């Protein structure tokens, strides 16, 4: 899995459309309406119950998700209560779902039905029977638990089985309908809310991790540098089949975590920010203060716990610079046009386009050194931060004039190891796959795959 793809993923409930005009779903809504932004259709019931939209517009009412603690233990059942209130409502309904915070299209755990609630699954217009994780599950009221005539408020209680393995933060989304029992969709109050649970007691990795090699995540070369993106390749870093991508819920003080899915990487005595973990690969960023030379690297499982497991020490070579472009499959530079279309041959990326002479293009890479202002490894660049060291850029063998290097620095809004270059393609450039080289600190980007198509 390319770290470039992961970075772009990081850096970076349907309404009842076509529903009958009534409190039509007294037996429970048959659509995703729990308030999950990625479920589409506005995220909740207000497209049909529209009298008082948007959701939560009347402060007299309230929807709450109540749990004993803001944590979950993998595989251990947890009680959830949903409480809905409004001084004028006399009929009640809800829908709730649990999602992986790092990817809210993926469900997290399963629900237990009882006499007041039922379970449905999927994201299609009509919720089908459950097929299992990671397909999202939804739990919702049944007809009897709408409690027509009940004033002030109601509660539903049920049990939830968290995933068997730690999946990072889990967000619980819910939508509620405080209705007037009029037999129509008019005059109902819609409320939404969500809470996020952190994993607890999840670090039980037992196998000793094995490091096979450590490489620059863009070039796959063995030489690294401070702040460069790198990958540890090996065995038994994580439970087979489990993958974890760092999300904002994992951040510590606004930066990427130094422990992810019970995995840590120690580089020269410093903990490295981690962006991705699977059983045979860890993507991380070399700490900013790592000294040059041969540096020890250790993969640590269950760090800081009584069951901590350390792998054998590996040795990596750290230089001041290790420049490399991210590429699409090693065939062309990960690049975009100034309006953010992907630059690539269609055989490489189906919707790719060629650059044109005179165009400004954006190239992405890592290992080009530190920036001014300095961002530490794992931090997010809040704005432009130009490279500290000067660069030379050649396109098709022609060195660019300074005026054609519009920007060379960190990618704003992204983790500090992702660097970008805004350059103008010379009018003299040839057509076809044109090679591009960037040199910094006396080190040049590798030639393999360092091309973009020009027409």
- Residue 182 CA to chain centroid, in angstroms? 42
Mean pLDDT of 99-120: 92
Q: Is the dihedral of CA 342, 348, 354, 360 positive or negative?
A: positive
- What is the chain's alpha carbon radius of gyration, rounded to the nearest angstrom? 26
Could you identify the residue written with the tokens 């870093």?
Answer: 237
The angle subtended at Cα 401 by Cα 228 and Cα 452, nearest 5°, is 55
Q: Between the CA of residue 31 and those of 64, 219, 344, what are the distances in Å?
A: 21, 46, 39
Give the mean model confidence (pLDDT) for residues 251-274: 95
For residue 248 the two structure tokens come to 């904002």
Q: What is the pLDDT of residue 19?
A: 28
Residue 253: how many CA atoms within 13 Å on its side-chain side? Answer: 6
* pLDDT grade for 242, boundaries at 50, 70 and 90: confident
Asked if 423 contacts 438 with a C-beta cutoff of 8 angstroms, the reply is no
Percent of the chain residues topping a pLDDT of 70: 90
The reported pLDDT for the residue numbered 40 is: 72
What pLDDT score does 161 carry? Answer: 96
At residue 10, what are phi and psi to the nearest 5 degrees? -75, -45
Does residue 21 have a pLDDT over 50?
A: no
Which among 438, 443, 382, 433 has a CA at the least distance from the CA of 408? 438
pLDDT (0 to 100) of residue 132: 67
Alpha-carbon gap, residue 192 to 239, rounded angstroms:
35
Residue 447 burial (CB < 10 Å; 0-12/13-18/19+)?
A: exposed
Residue 422's pLDDT is: 98
Give the lowest-confidence range in 4-8, 46-50, 319-323, 337-341.
Answer: 4-8
Q: What is the pLDDT of residue 137?
A: 93
Mean pLDDT of all residues belonging to the chain: 89
Sign of CA dihedral 166, 169, 172, 173: negative
Q: Which helix (H) or strand (E) segment is 6 a member of?
A: helix 3-10
Distance CA 430, CA 343 (A): 16
* Better pLDDT: 243 or 319: 319
**Per-residue confidence (pLDDT) for residue 253, from 0 to 100:** 93
* pLDDT at res. 124: 62
Please give the backbone phi and psi of residue 8, each rounded to the nearest 5 degrees, phi first.
Answer: -75, -25
pLDDT band with cut points at 50, 70 and 90 for residue 126 = low
Give the DSSP letter string of 101-152: TTEEEEE-SEEE-BTTEEEEE-SSSS------TTS-EEEEE-GGGG-TT--E
| pLDDT at position 220 over 90 | yes
Structure tokens at 289: 């203060």
C-alpha span between 164 and 169 (Å, rounded): 14
Give the model confidence (pLDDT) of 368-421 as tens digits. 999 999 999 999 999 999 999 999 999 999 999 999 999 999 999 999 999 999
CB 331 within 8 A of CB 311: no
pLDDT at 243: 85
pLDDT tens-digit series, residues 199-210: 887 788 999 999
Whole-number pLDDT of residue 28: 62
Q: What is the pLDDT of residue 155?
A: 97
Mean pLDDT of 252-279: 95
Going by C-beta distance under 8 Å and a sequence separation of 6 or more, which residues neighbour residue 357?
425, 426, 427, 428, 429, 454
So what's the pLDDT on residue 351?
A: 94
Q: In this predicted model, what pLDDT tens digit does every residue of 266-282 receive, in sequence order?
A: 999 999 999 999 999 99
Residue for token pair 């730690």: 166
Query: What pLDDT score does 92 carry?
Result: 97
8 A C-beta contact, residue 335 and residue 434: no
Q: Are β-strands 71-72 and 189-199 bridged in parallel, bridged antiparallel, or unpaired?
A: parallel
Model confidence band, residue 150 (pLDDT cutoffs 50, 70, 90): very high
Residues 350-364, mean pLDDT to the nearest whole number: 97
pLDDT of 15 over the 70 cut: no
Residue 4's nearest CA partner among 169, 250, 220, 263 is 220
pLDDT exceeds 60 at position 5? no
**Four-CA torsion 203, 205, 208, 212, nearest 10 degrees:** -90
Is the pLDDT at 241 greater than 90? The verdict is no
**If you write DSSP's letter for every residue of 169-186 in order, what string do you get?**
-EEEEEEEEEE--SSSST
With contact defined as beta carbons under 8 Å apart, do 167 and 202 qualify?
no
Domains and CATH numbers, the chain: 13-199 (2.60.40.10), 210-318 (2.60.40.10), 324-454 (no CATH)
Euclidean distance between CA atoms 407 and 362, whole angstroms = 9
């Amino acid at each position: 899995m390319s770290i470039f793809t992961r970075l772009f993923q990081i850096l970076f409930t349907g309404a009842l459309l076509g529903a009958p005009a009534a409190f039509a779903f007294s037996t429970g809504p048959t659509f995703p309406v729990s308030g999950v932004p990625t479920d589409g259709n506005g995220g909740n019931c207000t497209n049909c119950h529209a009298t008082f939209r948007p959701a939560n517009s009347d402060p007299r009412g309230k929807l709450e998700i109540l749990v004993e603690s803001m944590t979950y233990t993998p595989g251990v059942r947890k009680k959830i209560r949903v409480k809905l209130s409004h001084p004028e409502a006399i009929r009640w309904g809800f829908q709730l779902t649990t999602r992986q915070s790092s990817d809210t299209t993926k469900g997290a755990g399963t629900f237990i039905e009882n006499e007041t609630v039922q379970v449905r699954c999927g994201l299609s217009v009509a919720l089908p029977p459950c097929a299992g994780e990671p397909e999202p599950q939804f739990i919702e009221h049944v007809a009897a638990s709408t409690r027509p005539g009940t004033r002030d408020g109601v509660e539903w209680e049920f049990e939830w089985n968290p995933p068997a393995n730690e999946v990072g933060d889990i967000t619980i989304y819910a939508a509620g309908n405080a209705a007037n029992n009029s037999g129509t969709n008019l005059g109902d109050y819609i409320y939404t809310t969500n809470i996020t649970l952190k994993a607890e007691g999840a670090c039980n990795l037992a196998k000793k991790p094995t490091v096979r090699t450590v490489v620059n995540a863009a070039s796959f070369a063995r030489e690294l540098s401070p702040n460069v993106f790198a990958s540890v390749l090996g065995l038994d870093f994580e439970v087979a089949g489990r993958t974890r991508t760092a999300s904002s819920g994992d951040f510590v003080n606004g930066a990427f975590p130094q422990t992810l899915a019970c995995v840590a990487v120690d580089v020269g005595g410093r903990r490295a920010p981690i962006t991705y973990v699977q059983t045979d690969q860890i993507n991380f960023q070399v700490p900013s203060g790592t000294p040059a030379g041969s540096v020890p690297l250790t993969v640590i499982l269950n760090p800081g716990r009584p069951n901590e497991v350390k792998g054998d020490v590996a040795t990596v070579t750290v230089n001041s610079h290790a420049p490399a472009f991210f590429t699409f499959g090693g065939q062309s530079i990960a690049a975009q046009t100034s309006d953010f279309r992907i630059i690539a041959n269609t055989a490489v990326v189906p919707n790719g386009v060629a650059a044109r002479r005179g165009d400004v293009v954006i190239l992405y890479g890592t290992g080009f050194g530190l920036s001014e202002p300095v961002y530490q490894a794992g931090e997010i660049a809040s704005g432009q931060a130009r490279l500290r060291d000067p660069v030379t850029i050649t396109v098709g063998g022609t060195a660019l004039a300074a005026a054609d290097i519009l920007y060379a620095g960190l990618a704003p809004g992204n983790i500090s190891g992702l660097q970008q270059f805004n350059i103008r393609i010379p009018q003299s450039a040839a057509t076809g796959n044109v090679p591009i080289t960037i040199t910094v600190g006396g080190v040049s980007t590798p030639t393999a795959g360092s091309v973009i198509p020009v027409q």
